[in-house]
């Protein structure tokens, strides 16, 4: 079985199945199709399937021309029964948190339930979703073996965490080194052949657990350091010190220092969520991850700190948030993308509304406020002109998109609260928060 599957991969006759066609799955599907594989993309969202088959893109940095070229070797489907035609099944589904901050693996387990009836000998299953160490062995392996498939002999299982950075044009799927762990040596060998056919560098590790922990370390490293710099910002602000000047000065040290930058909180599908996957798993084995939890507390508190700072700034002008016309600039979780998941900008909108402010937003990447479970704003993006900017009492920069005309904003705004350090120079109407 192993040699047969490797032969198919080497000959590009293997069919690749990507399950979940979002920010992770779609770029991966494009990459496999680019090198000549036939790719089947599966998603329960029929709207996504329809758009792809019409040559349309729903991710703003993936142009429609790329999708049209993709269609030569690609077909999108919502019918999972076709997965029996696939040689490599790659799961790129969400792994969010429940309200109690416990891991929610329902997307993974539900996908497995849909796939199991169609799994057969000679296939490889690879999980890419970020999760706690042990998920591949504890959740996927038993389901596969219950079907009567012997993993490592007639079926193969790997874990290879996604490392996409949406909107980052310097790194592409092809050039980002790929971590890979296999359940057995045969699983690892086949995984290397598959991913090595399309990605420049494969980093093999000794087990799926190591690969799962590697992904968590990468994101927790960022969460902790961002928590540190956010706390430093609060201290510096109290001491009337510009934290951005401090960071720039510290960055001149050629060793031992990596710059991180503060903000109004953390967003996206990784950094605000992934640490809780490890803290939950650690608790199962009797370990309290205090350091990670403290960073989470600091980062989660940042939107409230920004609002508190804003209220203090407004007091000096004899104003309050109640009844104030506020325009939030940027509701995507990071610059130059359209993804609003866990966005601190949206949390700021909620807090501003709670304080009685009349809120609007402007985001060139998010023209209509998306449907979200926890937030319900019937709003569309405001076009920034001299006149529209002047109509607001306060502009709050939450996401520093490149498309914003910051000179136009500064010249026409009555007051700007800058949470991203956009304005390094001092202006009469700009206050950093």
Residues 19-33 pLDDT 10s:
999 999 999 999 999
Average pLDDT estimate for 47-72? 92
d(CA 55, CA 45): 16
What's residue 170's pLDDT? 87
**Topology alike, domains 2-206 and 231-432:** yes
**Across the chain, what does the average pLDDT equal?**
95
Catalytic residue chosen out of the listed positions 82, 92, 187, 270: 270
What's residue 214's pLDDT? 98
In our burial notation (b when 16+ CB lie closer than 10 A, e otherwise), range 246-258 reads: ebeeeeeeeeeee
pLDDT(371) > 90: no
270 labelled catalytic: yes
Average pLDDT estimate for 71-76? 94
What are the residue ranges spanned by the domains of the chain?
Answer: 2-206, 231-432
pLDDT(424) > 90: no
pLDDT(113) > 90: yes
Average pLDDT estimate for 364-379? 90
% of the chain at pLDDT higher than 90: 88
What's residue 86's pLDDT? 97
What's residue 428's pLDDT? 86
Residues 248-259 pLDDT 10s:
999 999 999 999
CATH superfamily of 231-432: NAD(P)-binding Rossmann-like Domain (3.40.50.720)
Residues 302-314 pLDDT 10s:
999 999 999 999 9
CA 402 to chain CA centroid, Å, is 19
d(CA 314, CA 302): 18
d(CA 210, CA 224): 20
pLDDT(378) > 80: yes
What's residue 269's pLDDT? 77
Which residues are CB-neighbours of 338 under 8 A, at least 6 positions away? 59, 60, 332, 365, 366
Average pLDDT estimate for 95-99? 90
Residue 124: both structure tokens together = 């490889």
Average pLDDT estimate for 72-90? 95
Judged by phi (left if over 0) then psi (alpha if -120 to 50, else beta), residue 318 lies in: left
CATH superfamily of 2-206: NAD(P)-binding Rossmann-like Domain (3.40.50.720)
Q: Residue 101 — pLDDT band, cuts 50, 70, 90?
A: confident
Q: Residue 335 — pLDDT band, cuts 50, 70, 90?
A: very high
Residues 144-177 pLDDT 10s:
999 999 999 999 999 999 998 887 888 999 999 9
- Give the DSSP H/E element, type plus range, for residue 204: strand 202-205
* Residue 45 or residue 168, greater confidence: 45
139: closest CA among 164, 120, 115, 163? 115
d(CA 368, CA 140): 38
270: closest CA among 184, 329, 341, 213? 341
Q: Residue 393 — pLDDT band, cuts 50, 70, 90?
A: very high
Q: Residue 60 — pLDDT band, cuts 50, 70, 90?
A: confident
Q: How many CB atoms lie within 10 A of CB 11?
A: 9
d(CA 13, CA 175): 23
What's residue 398's pLDDT? 98
- Give the DSSP H/E element, type plus range, for residue 171: none
Average pLDDT estimate for 265-284? 89
**In whole angstroms, how large is the CA radius of gyration of the chain?**
24
Q: Residue 376 — pLDDT band, cuts 50, 70, 90?
A: confident
What's residue 374's pLDDT? 79
What's residue 64's pLDDT? 92
Residues 179-211 pLDDT 10s:
999 999 999 999 999 999 999 999 999 999 999
8 Å CB contact between 276 and 101:
yes
Strand arrangement of the beta sheet that strand 38-42 belongs to: 74-77, 38-42, 15-19, 88-91, 123-127, 155-159, 178-182, 202-205
Residue 361: both structure tokens together = 């937003």
- The gap between the terminal CA atoms of the chain, to the nearest Å, is 59
């Amino acid at each position: 079985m192993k040699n047969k599957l490797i032969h198919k991969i080497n000959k590009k006759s293997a069919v690749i199945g990507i399950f979940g066609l979002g920010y992770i799955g779609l770029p991966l599907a494009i990459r496999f199709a680019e090198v000549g594989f036939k790719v089947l993309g599966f998603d329960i969202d029929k709207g996504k399937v329809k758009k792809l088959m019409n040559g349309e893109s729903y991710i703003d940095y993936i142009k429609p021309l790329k999708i049209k070229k993709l269609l030569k070797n690609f077909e999108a489907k919502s019918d999972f029964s076709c997965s029996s035609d696939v040689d490599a099944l790659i799961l790129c589904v969400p792994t969010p948190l429940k309200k109690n901050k416990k891991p929610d693996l329902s997307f993974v387990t539900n996908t497995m339930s849909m796939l199991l009836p169609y799994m057969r000998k000679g296939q490889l299953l690879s999980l890419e979703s970020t999760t706690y160490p042990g998920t591949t062995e504890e959740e996927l392996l038993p389901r596969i073996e219950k079907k009567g498939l012997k993993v490592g002999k007639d079926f193969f299982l790997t874990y290879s965490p996604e490392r996409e950075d949406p909107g980052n044009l310097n790194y592409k799927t092809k050039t980002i080194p790929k971590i890979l762990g296999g359940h057995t040596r045969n699983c690892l060998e086949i995984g290397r052949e598959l991913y090595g056919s399309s990605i420049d560098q494969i980093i093999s590790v000794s087990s799926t657990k190591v690969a799962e922990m590697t992904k968590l370390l990468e994101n927790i490293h960022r969460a902790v350091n961002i928590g540190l710099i956010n706390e430093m910002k609060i201290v510096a602000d109290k001491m009337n010190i510009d934290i951005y000047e401090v960071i720039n000065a510290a960055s001149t040290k050629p060793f031992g220092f990596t710059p991180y930058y503060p903000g109004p909180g953390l967003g996206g599908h990784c950094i605000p969520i992934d640490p809780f996957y490890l803290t939950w798993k650690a608790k199962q084995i009797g370990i309290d991850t205090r350091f990670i939890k403290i960073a989470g507390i600091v980062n989660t508190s940042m939107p409230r700190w920004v609002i508190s700072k804003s209220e203090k700034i407004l007091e000096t002008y004899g104003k309050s948030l109640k009844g104030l016309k506020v325009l939030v600039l940027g509701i995507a979780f990071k610059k130059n993308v359209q993804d609003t998941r866990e966005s601190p900008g949206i949390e700021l909108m909620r807090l501003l509304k709670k304080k009685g402010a009349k809120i609007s937003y402007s985001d060139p990447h998010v023209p209509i406020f998306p449907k979200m479970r926890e937030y319900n704003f019937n709003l569309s993006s405001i076009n920034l002109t001299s006149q529209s900017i002047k109509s607001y009492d306060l502009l709050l920069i939450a996401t520093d998109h490149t498309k914003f005309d910051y000179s136009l904003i500064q010249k026409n705004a009555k007051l700007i609260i800058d949470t991203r350090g956009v304005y390094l120079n001092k202006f009469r109407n700009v206050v950093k928060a």
